[in-house]
Chains A and B, each alone.
Chain A
Amino acid sequence: MLRRFVVPITVDSSGDAEVYSPVLSGHLHSIHYVKDDFANGVDFVLTLESTGETVWSEEDVNSSAVRYPRAPTHSTTGVAATYADGEPGVLDRIAVSQDRIKIEVAGGGTENSGTIHLTVEG
């Protein structure tokens, strides 16, 4: 089952905000930042509240953006999996269990707004 969580964000007079999704469980499939009037160059850091795992971290975002964030996978020896030696890693969706997604925004302007849509399977 696919669910979409909508997190509206308004930054303070310094351009910063810290907001949270509801507590959720599932595979994070996609993130959609919908710009309202955030300043160009806004920075996003999304992490899992309980574990601190990074979900999405990107600076200098100028316009609405869609991201399908995937995390590295590993062999049973803990070595990062790759498609071939020296080539990019094999990634997979990030699992969230009874956790919230913490959304930190910087450089968003003065009391400006934007919205994050989180699509989660499960």
Chain B
Amino acid sequence: MARIRSFNVTIPVASGAGTGYSPYFSGYIESIELLTGATYTDDQVDITITADVTGESILARTNQDLTTLPLRWRPRAATHGTDGVVAEYVDATAVSAVNDRIALSRDRVKIVIADGGTAKTGTFRVTVSED
């Protein structure tokens, strides 16, 4: 049975920019949420989330609309054939990538805020499963 854990990461910004980190863990990213109460500048804030150690991209959002909080994402990465070509459910006439959960091991989630406004804040909730 998978063990599910969540980490809250609060990132205040003084003049638009800020960075926060989850604790180190080994597991799969299930979801990432920006919780109710975030005060970043609507339609301007940029959110970039990566694996800190490897640099793997997890989620990138620009000029994010914060009208309706919380925001919730379940980011998944593209899978590939052994030839490195992206796997698809159907042929090229209707491309739909086969994705899978993003795995981090001995790593942490890095969240970078840009254009978040002056003296603003927000809390992200990172939920992971440790199978």
- Give chain A's interface residues, CB within 8 Å of chain B: 1-4, 29-30, 32, 34, 54-58, 61, 64-71, 83-84, 86-88, 91, 94, 117, 119, 121
Q: Are B56 and A4 in contact (CB under 8 A)?
A: no
Extra contacts, 8 of them, besides A34-B55, A70-B98 (Cβ < 8 A), are A2-B26, A2-B105, A2-B131, A67-B84, A68-B77, A70-B79, A70-B82, A70-B87
Expressed in whole angstroms, the minimum distance between the Cβ of A65 and any Cβ of chain B is: 8
Give Cα distance in the complex from A69 to B83, angstroms: 8
Q: Do A119 and B103 touch (CB < 8 A)?
A: yes
Chain B 1-16 interface mask (CB, 8 Å, partner A; 1/0): 0000000000000000
Asked if A30 meets B90 with Cβ closer than 8 Å, knowing A1-B131, A2-B130, the reply is no
B5 to chain A, nearest CB (A): 13
Is B78 in the interface zone, CB < 8 Å from A?
Answer: yes
The 4 closest A-B pairs by CB, nearest first: A4-B105, A58-B84, A68-B79, A2-B26
Q: Interface residues of B toward A: which range? A: 20 to 34
Q: What residues on A are CB-neighbors of B82 within 8 Å?
A: 54-57, 69-71, 94
Q: Enumerate chain A residues within 8 angstroms of B88, measured Cβ to Cβ.
A: 88
Which residue of B has the minimal Cβ distance to A3? B105
Q: Contacts of B106 on A, CB cut-off 8 Å?
A: 3-4
Contact between chains at B81 and A119 (CB < 8 Å): no
Contact status A2-B103, CB under 8 Å: yes
**Residues of A contacting B131 in the complex (Cβ-Cβ under 8 angstroms):** 1-2, 121
B54 touches A117 (CB 8 A): yes
Residue of B nearest to A54 (CB): B82
Contact status A70-B81, CB under 8 Å: yes
